[in-house]
Structure 1
Amino acid sequence: MLRVCCVFVLVLWPGFATAQISGHVRVIDGDTIDVGDLRIRLHAIDAPEMDQTCETELGIAFGCGAWVAAQIRERFEGAHATCTARDVDRYDRIVATCEVSGADMGEAIVAQGWAFAFRRYGMDYDLTEKAAFVNGQGLHGLRVQSPAAFRAMRVKGRVPVDPDCVIKGNISNNGRIFHVPGQEFYDRTGINERRGERWFCSTAEAQNAGWRAARR
């Protein structure tokens, strides 16, 4: 697979903006697909991460990242796509706009409220997202953190990598304290494993390791 990707880039780079890719779609997540043997990041959209959660208006949390991927998979999996390459991102994915049966995949995904317009990289779907918002489509009917903000919190150690281990074992001037979801300082607490801080899967595990519960 790596060899195929490298050949593609080297051969087509002089006219990269108009390079065409075609093949059958395999959905990876809300904004990433495989077309044939090539990994494609859809241009100018941003979907929730696979492990990201959202809340309904009643405050019920659910895995909206996985839900979004399932909706897109149901609509596009196995379809034949024609993509126009625009760039390569830092993960070596080809950034492209893709069409299926003459329809822009990115526009269709944003119109259904399965992803947001990623205005940092293009205004292509700005009006499409605004229409989806007005109509309460998909994610717009939920309480959802922007995918970019979710990723930033993860980098700062504020979002667990393992959804089953969400208790934060923090080390401060007050000692080793663990915070559980819903407590006052949970969201603002970051975990720096290089300092000895860690995630726990249960309060018993945290207590046995020498951490005490936060008072609030």
Structure 2
Amino acid sequence: MRPWIFSFALLLASPAVANPIVGRASVTDGDTLVIRETRIRLHGIDAPESAQTCKDATSKDYRCGQAAALALADHIGKRMVTCEPRDTDRYGRVVALCRADAEDLNAWMVREGHAIAYRRYAEDYVNAELTAKALRTGIWAGTFQDPSEWRRAHRAGGEDTRPETVTPPTGKSGCTIKGNISAGGQRIYHLPGSRDYDWTRVNDRAGERMFCTGDEAKAAGWRAAR
């Protein structure tokens, strides 16, 4: 066998050459996706946590973590997503660069001001962050705490502790309807199987809760997601 053929065969057989992960994606938070039960952490970016709040241009509090997740979910829509693995983090998540069509989703999140460049691990998106900051888009329109600092202040276990949910996804007696408060203060409930159900997180400290039936949610003053 010729040397170049042998080298090429070794490259194909190497476990370090990971195959792309392709499929419809559900959004867990502003920097985490799930494709075919594989959890994927977007490489090189850090988005506000689900329960994190920021201040907008008028100094009004809003749930910037929730806004980031919703923006990513809406931007992806029903498009197929392709993620190119770069690494695996300590929690078993695949760290990857993800694209919808040919668009770099990691870059889009930073450029639109829904996430910042995660300089601790990479500097791929520093220029995108500088652009967002200069244009005062997203979180840069007001003030916010660096997501890693927010995690250190709010969670035991250190900066890298990023649990899947703020509170368990089921309430009393296994109730599964998620009552969520939107960034604009609207009380909305999400039924299992609805579009935003998978990424919606319930934070009881913010006044959110689980319901057993839609009628129970309506009686408490919540409306169904559109």
Q: TM-score, normalised by structure 2?
A: 0.62
Q: CA deviation at 1:101?
A: 0.9
Structure 2 partner of 1:116: 116
Secondary structure of 1:121's partner?
A: coil
1:3-152 paired onto structure 2 within 5 Å: 14-152=14-152
CA radius of gyration, larger in:
1
Q: What is the letter of the counterpart of residue 116 of structure 1?
A: I
Secondary structure of 2:15's partner?
A: helix
- The answer on whether the counterparts of 1:17 and 1:86 sit within 8 Å (CA) in structure 2 is no
Q: CA deviation at 1:15?
A: 3.2
- The answer on whether the counterparts of 1:27 and 1:33 sit within 8 Å (CA) in structure 2 is yes
Secondary structure of 1:16's partner?
A: coil
Q: CA deviation at 1:111?
A: 0.8
1:162-205 deviations in whole A, cap 9, x for unaligned?
A: 96648xxxxxxxxxxxxxxxxxxxxxxxxxxxxxxxxxxxxxxx
Q: What is the letter of the counterpart of residue 120 of structure 1?
A: R
Q: State the aligned residue count.
A: 151
Q: CA deviation at 1:23?
A: 0.8
Secondary structure of 1:99's partner?
A: strand
Q: CA deviation at 1:36?
A: 2.2
Q: 1:86 to 1:17 in 2, by over 3 A?
A: farther
Secondary structure of 2:122's partner?
A: coil
Q: CA deviation at 1:132?
A: 0.8
CA distance in 1, matches of 2:84, 2:118: 18
Q: 1:78 to 1:105 in 2, by over 3 A?
A: same
Q: CA deviation at 1:120?
A: 0.9
Q: What is the letter of the counterpart of residue 74 of structure 1?
A: D
Q: TM-score, normalised by structure 1?
A: 0.64
CA distance in 2, matches of 1:46, 1:37: 21
Q: 1:165 to 1:114 in 2, by over 3 A?
A: closer
Q: What is the letter of the counterpart of residue 122 of structure 1?
A: A
Q: 1:65 to 1:15 in 2, by over 3 A?
A: same
CA distance in 2, matches of 1:70, 1:97: 19
Secondary structure of 2:99's partner?
A: strand
Aligned-residue CA RMSD in angstroms? 2.2
CA distance in 1, matches of 2:105, 2:136: 20
Q: What is the letter of the counterpart of residue 124 of structure 1?
A: D
- The answer on whether the counterparts of 2:59 and 2:142 sit within 8 Å (CA) in structure 1 is no
- The answer on whether the counterparts of 1:17 and 1:87 sit within 8 Å (CA) in structure 2 is no
Gaps of 5+ in 2: 1-11, 158-201, 207-226
1:67-126 deviations in whole A, cap 9, x for unaligned?
A: 111111111133211111111111111000011111111011111111000011111101
Q: 1:126 to 1:17 in 2, by over 3 A?
A: farther
Q: CA deviation at 1:17?
A: 4.7
